[in-house]
Amino acid sequence: MGLRLLPATFTPAEAVAAGVPRHVVYGWRDVGAIVEISRGVYRKADAPDTAYLDLIAAAKRAPRAVVCLVSALAVHELTDEIPAAAQLALPNGVNVPHVTYPPVEFSRFDPATFDLGRQTFEAAPGEWVSVFAPERAVADAMRLRHRVGDQVALRALRVYLARRGARPGELAQLARQLGD
């Protein structure tokens, strides 16, 4: 029943499922063995540093969500922009959780196309978060230019197309599937 059995970032429900009573989790918090990074989301104090802590915390609060728009462009190094809030997508019809910290901006996407281009990335060693693939991130930025800005969308497209391994045909097909 030790902390070492839990992942670097976890919720009390995950701890209970692993056989750790809630009062033990709160005891770990009180002695500084874990840190609360969002309401009901804890991270081991000795966990490796990561630039994606906000995305990890937001993903724990909204496990069905996918990193999208400028946040996805940043993950794929297709923009220099740093969004003020973690941008996550949920399918239409799914309840949006109330997250006060970290700052999160939710978008609703069509359930029929929600999983197109969905993949995972390692936000910290052994910690995976859902994100839209580079092609989906660029297609979404182009179709939602009014939200991300024309310059951000066009720059992301130029950077993507200039990359070795770019797949413009896949990008065009994905854009058609999304209704562009």
Whether the model pTM is above 0.75: yes
pLDDT given at position 180:
54
Number of neighbours of residue 168 by Cβ within 10 angstroms? 12
Edge-to-edge strand ranges of the sheet holding 86-91:
104-109, 86-91, 66-67, 127-132, 118-124
**Dihedral angle at the C-alpha atoms of 6, 122, 133, 151, nearest 10 degrees?**
120
pLDDT surpassing 90 at residue 93: no
Question: Interior CA angle at 177 toward 173 and 178, to 5°?
Answer: 115
What rounded mean pLDDT belongs to the chain?
93
Using one digit for the tens of pLDDT, what is the confidence trace for 120-161? 999 999 999 999 999 999 999 999 999 999 999 999 999 999
Q: Alpha helices of the chain — where are they, by DSSP H?
A: 12-17, 22-31, 53-61, 69-75, 134-143, 145-148, 150-162, 168-177
